[in-house]
Structure 1
Amino acid sequence: MSIKLRELIRSIRACKTAAEERAVVARECALIRTAFKEDDNQFRHRNVAKLLFIHMMGYPTHFGQMECLKLIASSKFPEKRVGYLGLTQLLDENTEVLMLVTNSIKNDMSNDNQYVNGLALCALGNIGSNEMCRALAREVENMMASPNPYIRKKAALCAMRIVRKVDEIEDKFNSKIGNLLEDRNHGVLLAGCSLLTALLEVNPSYMKEFRRYVPSLVRALRNMVTSGYTNAAEYDIAGITDPFLQAKILRLLRLFGERSADATDEMNDILAQVATNTEGTKNTGNAILYECVLTIMSIEAESGLRVLGINILGRFLLSRDNNIRYVALATLQRVVNVDQQVMQRHRNTIIDCLKDADISIRKRALDVTYSLVDEANIKSMTKELLNYLLVAEPDFKEELCSKICMAVEKFSPNRRWQIDTLIKVMCLGGNFVKEQQREKFCRVVAATPELHSYTVIKLYFNMKESLSQEALVHVGVWCLGEFGDHLVSGKAVGPDSQPIHVTPGDVLDLLYDVVRKPPTGEKAPATHCLVTAALIKLVTRCPSEFEKIRKLLRRFDCSLHVDLQQRSCEFLELLGSDWDSHRAGILDRMPVPEKEIGGAETRVVGDASIDEVPTNTSKGKPGKSDLLDLNDLLDAPREQQAPANQAPPPSSGGDLLDLLDAAPAANPPAPQATPEGFLDIFSGTPAASQEAPPMVAFEKNGLKVTFFPRKEADGSVTVLARFANTLSVPMTNFVFEAAVPKYVTLSIQPATGQVLPPQTDLVTQTMSCVNSTNGEKGLLMKLRIGYVCNGAPVQEMGQVGGFPPGF
């Protein structure tokens, strides 16, 4: 004979090893199998009970499934109870033998004993298959009308299973919902709410039909909230009347009130009562308040009620219980867009949660803080986050830096503030700034020519102070290579209005320090690759340091890192004399992908002029004396500038249109022309066009500008300007601008390069003109040309006429 259940438990607990435990279980399972074969009815329920315990420990017990069915068919309640327990634990809805128990469950549903009825309903509600639910649905429906509240409750819960398993009879219990919701027994009412929630989840179209029960739910909730409720003592838990039922009703009201103003009006008062009368000193009350707030935020509640709900969450944030604070932050994250103004009142409390010792609360608080950022508070919120970045733990800094960068990109008031803030982030947590954020920073800088000088100078001095922040070093090295000419030009001034003097040697020394002290680990080769790219770029920006750059590049031509070695060898080859005429064009600034600049492309630049020494004034603001000459040339002409993707030379004083306070005309750019064009098959001339002989538009100090005009079939004039440098040194930072009379509309394409190599004419620029007088008035142009030669800025003015008649 097998041992009792308690003896089996004691034997298993006494085992010291897993092998001993397996031996005890195997021996007992063998004895149980023997008893089942001998059809031992006396101890069948004991053996099934022991199988349940063995099943809980993870051992196979499938051989006892049929014994559960035999126990269910027994007339003794203790055996029937063990049989149903075994049925629900040892079998599931996919077990084939489950259909054999359908008739036993049906018989037990009509039993005179309410507890037998309850066992049958529980079994069907837990593991009933589609076939079983369909076969027993009528019996469950009849039991929902039973005078016994115990049976009504069990039947309603069983009906939830049937609704979810059988689609075609989901409406079978709709007529019973009203009686369940009007029941005075809390258990029946709770089961009715659960059944109604399941119905609405399965078929949301029932929402309109069941909204008529909102007054019943409101009345039941008011009875529980009222302190003088007669049965309050029976359901009291920590001073709250039946918190489980209150929470269930609040969730149901949330479903009914969503997108329904009429239903919301019916529940506004009771929600206000729950929010104000529920005590929040214990978890029981906090649970009700939590559900109440979620309901308020989900329905069409009035503003005062929403304020009350958010204030409740604000009180949760002041709790000492981490769970309550976490729940509050999670809820605030869900409702942050409901009423931003009210949320701002709790901003300081939310920010204080960033300093919590619990990492989960800090992360959730960061999410809420990020959601609170908008254009109105971006500066103050960013300041708070930067202050916290100073003291944040290392494992939290990466996410914090990412949130700051995203907020700045999205809401920055202007480009200068955006660049300043991102540099601060990289100075404080540069080792945690993601690669994607660094690339976005570089694109924003490249797309803002007015701030090239300001940015490269600021990065230079920040790098001089510390080379420990990886992101700062990487973007700084990139900017030194691209815009190093601005750094050594001597045109920038500091806060004390004194010129900033940085020599090319200082720039090379800083890069040498980066090479000697790069970020450790796998990031060192990546840093060296950026340094080599910056060095080769500086060949044209700082030509006086040619040999020093060559020496630094030779440090890497034998590197074990393949990419670094290849870069250095190719760059050293580029320094050879064979490439003298092409080097300047190859090392021109990188173009900016217009569609990838990010959220700042529509921002204003900000105050950039205070950091530039303009040509015509010593007080930091661009003068207009010589610029107005261009404007006054031909009876107040319209001006157009190419949508340049490179920076103007420091001497140009900034953007021509900005300085003249003129807005560019909204004309689509003309297609770029080539000297050859598409030749007509017979005449050998460009099809449907009229070419004119080349004309020299400007020639001075080694610079020659030649125009190739051509009249198109639509009457417009395309002018290809070719720029020749006859000197032995390159001309860098080249910018070509033009102005035309009012009767002419001018559109200029970007130049093919910003550096004119010596003894070449490789750089071209295309202009398109539309003469509104159809050639009655001749085409005239006023030119302004700027470039840097031998480190000195040059600016020239010119005038072009003599275009062929009809152009």
Structure 2
Amino acid sequence: MARDLAPEVERLLQNRDPNTKKKAALCSIRIVRKVPDLAENFMSAAASLLKEKHHGVLISAVQLCTELCKASTEALEYLRKNCLEDPFLHIRVLKLMRTLGQGDADCSEYINDILAQVSTKTESNKNAGNAILYECVETIMGIEATSGLRVLAINILGRFLSNRDNNIRYVALNMLMKAIAVDTQAVQRHRATILECVKDADVSIRKRALELVYLLVNDTNVKPLTKELVDYLEVSDQDFKEDLTAKICSIVEKFSQDKLWYLDQMFRVLSLAGNYVKDDVWHALVVLMSNASELQGYSVRSLYKALLACGEQESLVRVAVWCIGEYGEMLVNNISMLDMEEPITVTESDAVDAVEVVLKRYSADVTTRAMCLVSLLKLSSRFPPTSERIKEIVAQNKGNTVLELQQRSIEFSSIIQRHQSIKSSLLERMPVLDEANYLVKRAASTQATVSSVKSAPAVTPGGQPKLPNGVAKPPAAPLADLLDLSSDDTPVTTSAPTTAPNDFLQDLLGIDLTDSSPAGGAPSTSTDILMDLLSIGSTPVQNGPPTSNFIPPGIAETKPVAVTPQVVDLLDGLSSSTPLPDENAAYPTITAFQSATLRITFSFKKQPRKPQETTINATFTNLATTTFTDFVFQAAVPKFIQLRLDPASSSTLPASGNGSVTQSLSVTNNQHGQKPLAMRIRMSYKVNGEDRLEQGQISNFPAGL
């Protein structure tokens, strides 16, 4: 019907009646949308309609031209060559210009002059003028505009930020966030106005302005911007403190190059909004103080003063209590004074008083009370004259209904009263916390990938996979469905000789382990552990809620135990008759796995006089243009094969093949000559913080392995 009616509609576009022309133009739009091939029939008529004086006809003509440009490149070029005063018409024309100039430097150059005139001559004292100016800015940002014109557009948005209308300020902030990618320096000129928007009464404007400020922060302006934000934190609404606190902490951690400045800002944030500071933030602060020996005295004195002034801020209280317990003698004796510091008078009794007040005030917070007890125990060693008083304070919790606090109270009282000979060595300062190790773990935890069904292993600095505590146990699935194999044999777990006992694995992985193997054999595992470990047949894991494996200092000072990655038997049941090879034969290097982003090659070496044993050297190469981080390789073999994985050379794969990661695998085929080597592999890694997962089966091993 559209094809049949098109000639008649085209004829009506030449009608003398403006209303008829308008209706015909609108009908033409529908026809072009349904049948894009007919666009060329309306090009000439659409161009002639742009000369009409009737606004209704002009608006319809502009809409028709826009649709023609979208439907046909031929129409786009025609209108570029052949191609004001109510605002709706202006806006339609500007949208058409944006379509015409997008990706075309020559057309954009012609449009630049028009846009400059519209930008400078349009009045902004009415909403209609502001609408035109906004559309003009959109068009400038959407075409190949000159740098000067883009600066003009950003300046228009800067003026919008001073408008009384909240809607105008909001759309200006949105547009400025896009403009940062085009000209950051031009946006920086309006930093002061944007900061004022952070303090706006409208919550939507506050949040959008805060996001924009975060994008504007760099190494040169981080200190003044942070000061402005921290100053505002003191008077901001309670509803806004959480977002503001998170952004400030992120800025300070990201751009801090001076430890003293970092400490000062974090102490202020803890004092003003400690109840909104996340655990991983103050954990990182504790790690930094542990490593900055020259600033420990300054830290404990600053935190002590902040504790006396702001005792209601939970995170501040925890950090201060920990610090007083570790560096109490520095507080009392004014050790490691900085030039800018004024000496303070704090007695041993004052330090104990501060912790005791916290212990009483936070009677319902088990973590804070536990940290207070540890701090008091350490102070009993730092300040021997206060031992009797501390023993009485600690003993008050012997009858506490919370088992954790009751146990600590009893054990700590025993240490203070009966074990004087070992107390000083037992209660020495904590060893310096491994900052690099903590940062790796924190980065992994903030991008946690634990899902309700399957979980991907985290990565230790040595490249070994390690599942976090608290992994949710996935629902059981039939083994045949899981592996798509016909074998009836139960898979068994094989690992390096350092495999931890079942009870430790059960505690570490949070799953049930049952040993149903014959004596001397490898322990068998349930389908659940198989799913948890390798997630064979799964789709890439999704981001889950952030988790943290950091244990607050002083609460539980246990060291993590490294666990060798488990290798699961998946492929039993494959049979073949392979002749015994010469043990000195050379085996070709194979491409074990290749995708669009990853290539894995295997080279082989036989053990002398041990034909059943093979050493495989795996080489991993990143074919993508983005670096892979937290790279983990896992392998699964049939139960007649024993496999041991050595640590990988690195957990980071450089982009574009610029370097590779290697890992050694030791394989023992207990049915050598009867069954071939078979293996299923799984690789997990992160790209820009996003989790990726690849897996496959290796079926091209050389004969004789």
TM-score w.r.t. the length of structure 1 is 0.48
Q: Which runs of 5+ in 1 are unaligned?
A: 1-135, 163-168, 225-240, 602-677, 679-807
Candidates 272, 278, 286, aligned match of 1:428: 272
Candidates 152, 166, 172, aligned match of 1:328: 172
Between the two proteins, the alignment pairs up a number of residues equal to 433
Q: Distance in 2 between matches of 1:529 and 1:428?
A: 24
- CA offset digits 1:208-229 (Å, max 9, x no partner): 973553354xx5xxxx1xxxxx
570 and 200 in structure 1: CA distance in 2 versus 1, 3 angstrom threshold: farther
Candidates 170, 176, 197, aligned match of 2:42: 176
Q: Which has the higher helix share?
A: 1
Candidates 76, 81, 90, aligned match of 1:210: 76
536 and 590 in structure 1: CA distance in 2 versus 1, 3 angstrom threshold: farther
1:480 Cα deviation from its structure 2 partner: 2.4
193 and 490 in structure 1: CA distance in 2 versus 1, 3 angstrom threshold: same
Q: Distance in 2 between matches of 1:420 and 1:211?
A: 61
The answer for the alignment partner of 2:130 in structure 1 is 286
The answer for the alignment partner of 1:299 in structure 2 is 143
2:240 is equivalent to residue 396 of structure 1: yes
Q: Distance in 1 between matches of 2:65 and 2:43?
A: 7
Q: Contact conserved, 2:9 with 2:28, CA < 8 A, in 1?
A: yes
AA matched with 2:177: Q
- CA offset digits 1:213-246 (Å, max 9, x no partner): 3354xx5xxxx1xxxxxxxxxxxxxxxx132232
- CA offset digits 1:92-139 (Å, max 9, x no partner): xxxxxxxxxxxxxxxxxxxxxxxxxxxxxxxxxxxxxxxxxxxx4424
Partner SS state of residue 145, structure 1: helix
Q: Distance in 2 between matches of 1:193 and 1:565?
A: 79
What is the correspondence of 1:58-73 to structure 2 with a 5 Å cutoff?
none
AA matched with 2:22: Y
The answer for the alignment partner of 2:93 in structure 1 is 249
Q: Contact conserved, 1:140 with 1:155, CA < 8 A, in 2?
A: no
The answer for the alignment partner of 1:462 in structure 2 is 306
1:295 Cα deviation from its structure 2 partner: 1.9
1:267 Cα deviation from its structure 2 partner: 1.6
Q: Distance in 1 between matches of 2:156 and 2:417?
A: 73
Candidates 225, 248, 252, aligned match of 1:381: 225
1:393 Cα deviation from its structure 2 partner: 1.6
Candidates 364, 371, 385, aligned match of 1:530: 371
- CA offset digits 1:133-164 (Å, max 9, x no partner): xxx442454455232423432323323653xx
1:422 Cα deviation from its structure 2 partner: 1.2
AA matched with 1:416: L
416 and 198 in structure 1: CA distance in 2 versus 1, 3 angstrom threshold: farther
Partner SS state of residue 218, structure 2: coil
C-alpha RMSD over aligned residues: 3.6
The answer for the alignment partner of 1:97 in structure 2 is none
513 and 255 in structure 1: CA distance in 2 versus 1, 3 angstrom threshold: farther
Q: Contact conserved, 2:170 with 2:208, CA < 8 A, in 1?
A: yes
Candidates 433, 436, 444, aligned match of 1:594: 436
Q: Distance in 1 between matches of 2:341 and 2:38?
A: 85
AA matched with 1:388: Y
Q: Distance in 2 between matches of 1:160 and 1:384?
A: 55
Candidates 308, 311, 326, aligned match of 2:155: 311
The answer for the alignment partner of 2:286 in structure 1 is 442
Q: Which runs of 5+ in 2 are unaligned?
A: 14-20, 444-497, 499-705
The answer for the alignment partner of 1:342 in structure 2 is 186
The range that moved more, 441-450 or 417-426, is 441-450
AA matched with 1:559: N
The answer for the alignment partner of 1:560 in structure 2 is 401
- CA offset digits 1:169-205 (Å, max 9, x no partner): 654535535642442355566456546656877x8xx
Q: Contact conserved, 2:118 with 2:136, CA < 8 A, in 1?
A: yes
The answer for the alignment partner of 2:3 in structure 1 is 138
1:250 Cα deviation from its structure 2 partner: 2.2
Q: Distance in 2 between matches of 1:552 and 1:195?
A: 83
1:509 Cα deviation from its structure 2 partner: 1.4
1:590 Cα deviation from its structure 2 partner: 6.2
198 and 479 in structure 1: CA distance in 2 versus 1, 3 angstrom threshold: farther
Q: Contact conserved, 2:69 with 2:75, CA < 8 A, in 1?
A: no
Q: Contact conserved, 2:101 with 2:144, CA < 8 A, in 1?
A: yes
Q: Contact conserved, 2:271 with 2:306, CA < 8 A, in 1?
A: yes
What is the correspondence of 1:718-733 to structure 2 with a 5 Å cutoff?
none
Partner SS state of residue 367, structure 2: helix
Partner SS state of residue 209, structure 2: helix
Candidates 324, 329, 345, aligned match of 1:480: 324
Q: Contact conserved, 1:144 with 1:176, CA < 8 A, in 2?
A: no
AA matched with 1:152: A
Candidates 257, 261, 265, aligned match of 2:109: 265
The answer for the alignment partner of 2:27 in structure 1 is 155
1:343 Cα deviation from its structure 2 partner: 2.1
1:469 Cα deviation from its structure 2 partner: 2.2
AA matched with 2:302: K
Q: Distance in 2 between matches of 1:508 and 1:403?
A: 35
147 and 574 in structure 1: CA distance in 2 versus 1, 3 angstrom threshold: farther
AA matched with 2:247: K
1:453 Cα deviation from its structure 2 partner: 2.3
- CA offset digits 1:753-775 (Å, max 9, x no partner): xxxxxxxxxxxxxxxxxxxxxxx
409 and 300 in structure 1: CA distance in 2 versus 1, 3 angstrom threshold: farther
Q: Contact conserved, 2:291 with 2:432, CA < 8 A, in 1?
A: no
154 and 530 in structure 1: CA distance in 2 versus 1, 3 angstrom threshold: same
Q: Contact conserved, 1:492 with 1:499, CA < 8 A, in 2?
A: no
549 and 272 in structure 1: CA distance in 2 versus 1, 3 angstrom threshold: same
Q: Distance in 2 between matches of 1:325 and 1:483?
A: 50
Q: Distance in 2 between matches of 1:211 and 1:486?
A: 77
Q: Distance in 2 between matches of 1:589 and 1:540?
A: 17
Q: Contact conserved, 1:481 with 1:538, CA < 8 A, in 2?
A: yes
User: Based on CA coordinates, which of the two structures has the bigger radius of gyration?
Assistant: 1
495 and 173 in structure 1: CA distance in 2 versus 1, 3 angstrom threshold: same
448 and 273 in structure 1: CA distance in 2 versus 1, 3 angstrom threshold: same
Q: Distance in 2 between matches of 1:151 and 1:477?
A: 77
AA matched with 1:534: S
Candidates 350, 355, 361, aligned match of 2:199: 355
Q: Contact conserved, 2:46 with 2:65, CA < 8 A, in 1?
A: no
Q: Percent identity?
A: 39
1:288 Cα deviation from its structure 2 partner: 0.9
Relative contact order (C-alpha < 8 Å, sep 6+): which is higher? 2
AA matched with 1:589: P
1:324 Cα deviation from its structure 2 partner: 1.6
Q: Contact conserved, 1:333 with 1:368, CA < 8 A, in 2?
A: yes
- CA offset digits 1:269-297 (Å, max 9, x no partner): 11101111211111111111001112222
The answer for the alignment partner of 1:365 in structure 2 is 209
